[in-house]
Amino acid sequence: MFSTLHIFLAVVWIGLPVATTSTLAAVASRYLSKSNASRDNLKAALLTALLCTVAWRTFTVNHHHSLPDLDSYPRNSNNETVFIAVNLYNSEHLFPAFSDNLLQVVHHLGEENVFISIYESNSHDRTKQLLSQFERELHLRGIQNSIRMLDNNRRNDMDRIERLALIRNEALNPIQSGVHGLHGRTFSKLLWLNDIFFRPESVLELFSTNGGRFDQVCGLDYLPLGFYDTWVMRDVEGNRQTPLWPYFHLESDIARLRKGELIPVNACWNGMTIFDAKWFLPTSNSTAQPGVDDGPIRFRTHPECLASECLLPSYDIHVRSKQRPQIFVNPRVVATYQWRDYLMYDWIMRSNIVNIWSRIWQDLISHSLFGFFVEIGRKKDDCAEALRRGWKPL
């Protein structure tokens, strides 16, 4: 989608280098009385130096939004076990990046510490073929897994949210069938992945969030326009967010977003999320609160309003918790559904040169002067009243 950022980048990457090089070359030619060959060499040297400088400044990542290298994240020294659940549909375009990056995550956590469950249904592309290849690779590496690929399992008597909840629960099938851990150790974390582009560093960043102490943590997922999962995410006051910068409603959240700091929220999903696995395991959610279901969380519909099946696990954690649960958004973590968007939000938008555009356009012009347009785009939450009863206050 075309925006002022594209104009800015065209000026910075093309216009300024050309104009600056031409000016420097003209000045040098005027004051140098050497041969034509010398002047040509000088022009080439100036052009090379300028382009190198522009490239370095352009692609140097902001320190507070960048992620450490993969090897900088701590290894799974305690051998905590992790259940990874994935739902895929028409996901051929994700491969091999999806499978390669997932294998890097598993290697970092320890192949013996991970169980991968993937549920695919009704794809019309090569997803099944690619998953079969991935399944063989998992077996070769000794990684325990359950990969199920089905067709014609759609039920006409279900609405969309019911069907999506069923599909999510199918990815939990191993847990529901009694796989609650590995090697006598109960699962510590449950990682959910949608059909997204991601870096292995992003997943490990989520695992490291708040020192690993959280009930749930999410990154941010993007489409060309901006933030995607506005239907699911709720801030600490229960507000929905907007796709346009700065996404959040509360000024405290916006300030944390700019700094790349953790943002406490009521609910999130955002394409990639990690839960404390206890919420999905039996006999671990006893709340001693009368009238509260303390069984394992499963995906479901809301009886009173149209709520996403991905929002309700966060809500159910609130309901089952005696105190406010620790649910965070880590804005340093990016997920997208197309490669071009990942290139934009995980690479270009982190670069130093884009800081200029962000400060001038996003903060000064767009947010400060025309922020009311963003609020107009904030959709009404039809479930606000029904959900308010369950949220624990900050």
Nearest to 138 by CA among 100, 109, 171: 100
Q: Given a cut of 70, is residue 242 above it in pLDDT?
A: yes
Q: What is the dihedral of CA 62, 8, 370, 218, to 10 degrees?
A: -40
**pLDDT tens sequence across 37-63:** 566 666 666 666 666 666 555 555 555
Q: Which residue has the higher pLDDT, 13 or 60?
A: 13
Q: Please name the residue ranges forming H helices in 227-359.
A: 251-259, 312-320, 339-346, 352-357
Supply the pLDDT for residue 347.
84
Q: E strands within the chain? A: 81-88, 114-121, 144-150, 181-182, 185-193, 216-222, 234-235, 263-267, 272-276, 327-336
Supply the pLDDT for residue 293.
74
pLDDT band (50, 70, 90) for residue 36: low
Q: Given a cut of 60, is residue 116 above it in pLDDT?
A: yes
Q: Positive or negative CA dihedral for 47, 52, 53, 58? A: positive
Q: Given a cut of 50, is residue 1 above it in pLDDT?
A: no
pTM of the entire predicted model? 0.85
Domains located in the chain, CATH noted: 4-59 (no CATH), 78-343 (3.90.550.10)
**pLDDT tens sequence across 257-279:** 989 999 999 999 999 999 999 99
Distance CA 128, CA 121 (A): 9
| Mean pLDDT, rounded, of the chain | 86
Lowest mean pLDDT among 86-95, 157-166, 186-195: 157-166
**pLDDT tens sequence across 197-237:** 999 999 999 999 999 999 999 999 999 888 999 999 999 99
Beta strands 185-193; 81-88: pairing state: parallel
**pLDDT tens sequence across 370-381:** 555 556 556 778
